[in-house]
Amino acid sequence: MSESKSPQYCPETLALSAGFVPDHQTKTTTPDITMSVNHCFVPEEGSFSANGIEDLADAPFLYAGWTNPTVRQLEQRIAALECTDDAYATMTGMAALSAVFFSLLRAGDHLIISDVCYAAVYELARDVLPDYGIEVTAVNLTDLDAVVQAIRPNTRLIHAESPCNPLLRLTDLAQLAHVAKQHQVLLSVDSTFATPVITRPAVLGADLVIHSLTKFINGHGDALGGCVAGNKALIAQIRSRAAAHFGATISAQNAWLIMRGIETLYPRMKTISDSAHQIAQWLENHPRVKQVNYPGLTSHPQYALAQEQMAYGGGIIVFQVDALDDIAQRFARDARLFYYAYSIGHQRSLAVLLKTADLMTSTYRMTAEQEQQFRHYAGDGVLRLSIGLENPHDLIEELEQLLR
């Protein structure tokens, strides 16, 4: 297949150019979308078959379940931004996470997962993987001694999320990658909250970088998608299972929408982070607000690490406030700019209440000590804000009304 030339451009430029091959005939300036599920081929004796092709990405385009010209452009662009050899794009972020776990882990293997991470991936690890004979331990990955203690001879993978959903607790990725390498364990990092604009986990030593593309990377709230980026051999291993056997590959239409989103990712993340920073500072000075977690604030418990590992503070803020239910009601009923909804990373600002007691019942199974650490960040619960592209002064004015 034709690969685009990607010279050593800066990331902002690669967000527009990596993987883009203008159509020679029509001289397009924007990627075309190929909707065809099938590509014709003329079998040649003994040579034109998918059998024996080790990496499905190297096969000619045959069937969109494996890959497709539009999907491949998206994968090449993500790989360029994450500084990895390759990437595989999936229907959702959860499909990417499932593809990683079910492609790399076998019965008898052991997984270490962050004790706080996106609820559905934690539940997948807690409830589903053990049914397939995979052992799982949830560890606070900020405590590297605890990580080392948790490693067993059969540990195959450590899965981290930084900043993590919903606490915005950070993991020192360079140090964790060092520990993982010392013990010959793979490290996967869900970098959905950061995006490659803010942190590039593979540059810090992670083996695999996972995203829900549904969030900031698409950024328009109109397409589901996910991806995993890494070295060629690992991505080929994941693709061969997830594409051929799990049917996890993203659709061409969503790949196209997400690629369009990526083209403005760099200016969007900068604007969103600048706004979020202003709003987090404003919240911190509000008399009704008890605590604000935002990696860009000097009050964040890991501010020094944030400065080292993150180019900006990102678009998510969580805060604790008196009369939590009452305030959440006001967000849901009265807000005009903040939409009360579960997702994050859209062009419009979103807000949602996450109560600690509910999360402890529905998702996390924590020791008393782990719960105490969780409450250090979240108390009895937080309002999670995902800041969009509105003018921050308008958002602050609305917050002032809602917190009155």
Ligand X SMILES: Cc1ncc(COP(=O)(O)O)c(C=O)c1O
- Site for ligand X, rule CB under 6 A: 92-94, 118, 161, 165, 190, 192-193, 212, 214, 224, 226
> Given the complex with ligand X, which of 34 and 191 has the nearer CB atom?
191
Q: Among residues 183, 42, 48, 188, which one has the least CA distance to residue 104?
A: 188
Q: Looking at beta carbons, which residue is closest to ligand X?
A: 93
> Given the complex with ligand X, which of 67 and 92 has the nearer CB atom?
92
Gap between the Cα atoms of 227 and 142, Å rounded? 25
Q: Among residues 226, 193, 270, which one has the least CA distance to residue 78?
A: 226
> Given the complex with ligand X, which of 77 and 215 has the nearer CB atom?
215
3-state class (DSSP) for residue 129: helix
Q: Among residues 42, 59, 118, 44, which one has the least CA distance to residue 243?
A: 59
> Given the complex with ligand X, which of 191 and 302 has the nearer CB atom?
191
Which residues make beta-bridge pairs with 209? 189, 229
Contact 142, 268 (CB under 8 A): no
CB of 189 to ligand X, least distance (A): 10
CB of 269 to ligand X, least distance (A): 16
CB of 294 to ligand X, least distance (A): 17
Tokens describing residue 218: 């698409």
> Given the complex with ligand X, which of 151 and 351 has the nearer CB atom?
351
> Given the complex with ligand X, which of 56 and 224 has the nearer CB atom?
224
Tokens describing residue 176: 């964790």
Q: Among residues 197, 211, 202, 125, which one has the least CA distance to residue 161?
A: 211
CB of 6 to ligand X, least distance (A): 26
CB of 92 to ligand X, least distance (A): 3
CB of 375 to ligand X, least distance (A): 21
